[in-house]
Amino acid sequence: MKLSDYVTLGKSGLRVSPFCLGTMTFGTDWGWGADEEESVRVLERYMELGGNFLDTANCYTNGHSEVILGNYFGKNKFKRDRMVIATKGFGNMYSGDPNGGGTNFKSLVNACDESLRRLQTDYIDLYYVHHWDPHTPVEETMYALNHLVEAGKVRYIAFSDTPAWVTCKAQMIANENHWAPLTAYEMEYNFSERTVETEMMPMAKELGIGVVTWSPLRKGLYSGKYTRENNGNVPGGRLATRYKGQVITEQQFQIIDELLAMAKEYGTTPATVALAWVKSRPANSIPLLGARNIEQLESNLNVLDFVLPKEAADKLSKLSAPPESFVEHDILSENAISMLQTGTTINGWTSKPWPMTPGPDDIRW
């Protein structure tokens, strides 16, 4: 696989790389990112290898992430149109201002204009609603997003970290009004966050929305630097800076142990194995690759030349399986499917007979 093996995003014709470069680490304002010089090195290396998909947000490193990208493309304007730049609105950048964040018309349009200014561009390729705003009707949010598209400020729209029922409602509103539809949905997905498999991923598939996954290494937890020996105490790591006090569970340590063993067996890194597992999953998502330096980027890009054997992927899937959700335990349970199909095979899905199915002589009502 190469970064130039482009895929279309959702039902759109927008071509993007199979791995997106996440730029939340661009800027040192949060205490653990990369300075502008190192950020540019990471950016240029990604682009040199054919990568064209960038992800940021208005609030990342207090706006510095967007500024770094803006400074680069402002000096290299001929490269801007070759890239697909995604950013997000929602985060409140103005303390004490109730309309400084969120997804109402005023907030979202202002946030977009501010992002355009920091990015030094006339348009945003993919504009996300960063989170669900429970104070704003989703009709207003979709109206605002469509307004931004019609104004030429945004090319495609998307949601991130929003309930499935809200996203479905939003897509139906867009369809009914012939407004711009949601093209992508961004969600966390890794060994420690698989609950999205029961609602978010099936929703995206049904609605024709492309899936972009953030934190495939769980904030670096599955990168290989955290082990039982150091018990997660890695100076400078995000667990010690941004996520102070986070405890690594026994299940997570078991996954880390297996990643280390597989990395040794296959002659690669734990991060490569973890990223390959995410990419191998049925949702066929576009994972975000984050990097604070060029070495981390190069290490993460090893996944392009690595294919995880099926037996290894299955082992990691079993090891990281989350508790069953209501959807799995009841709605899609074996009993429910048996009740539906009564031992028949439909679309390749065979059920057991349902013991309470009435026989030919039992139908009396």
Q: Find the CATH number of the domain harbouring 105.
A: 3.20.20.100
What local confidence, expressed as pLDDT, does residue 296 receive? Answer: 92
Q: Is-contact 186 158, C-beta < 8 A?
A: yes
pLDDT at 343: 85
The residue among 175, 202, 170, 352 whose CA lies nearest residue 282 is 202
**Per residue in 122-171, pLDDT tens?**
999 999 999 999 999 999 999 999 999 999 999 999 999 999 999 999 99
Burial tier of 114 (Cβ tally within 10 Å: 0-12, 13-18, 19+) = middle
Confidence check: pLDDT of 71 > 50: yes
Q: Does residue 1 fall inside a structural domain?
A: no
In a domain, 102, yes or no: yes
Q: How many domains does the chain have?
A: 1
pLDDT bin (cut points 50, 70, 90) of residue 355 is confident
In a domain, 288, yes or no: yes
In a domain, 213, yes or no: yes
Are the beta carbons of 90 and 148 closer than 8 angstroms? no
Task: Identify whether 73 is part of a domain.
Answer: yes
Q: CA-CA distance, 92 to 84, in Å (whole number)?
A: 24
Predicted model pTM: 0.89
pLDDT in tens, 270-321: 999 999 999 999 888 999 999 999 999 999 999 999 999 999 999 999 999 9
Residue 341 covered by a domain? no
Question: Which range in 18-27, 90-99, 216-225 is most confidently predicted, on average pLDDT?
Answer: 18-27
In a domain, 338, yes or no: no
Identify which of 1, 7, 48, 42 has the alpha carbon closest to the alpha carbon of residue 22: 42
Task: Note the Cα 8 to chain centre separation in Å.
Answer: 16
Residue 340: partners with Cβ closer than 8 Å, 6 or more residues away: 351
* Best CA proximity match to 186, nearest among 303, 270, 283, 93: 283
- Res. 32 pLDDT band, cuts 50 70 90: confident
Active site (catalytic) residues: 60
In which domain, by residue range, is 120 found?
Answer: 7-308
| 358 found inside a domain | no
Helix (H, G, I), strand (E, B) or coil at 20: strand
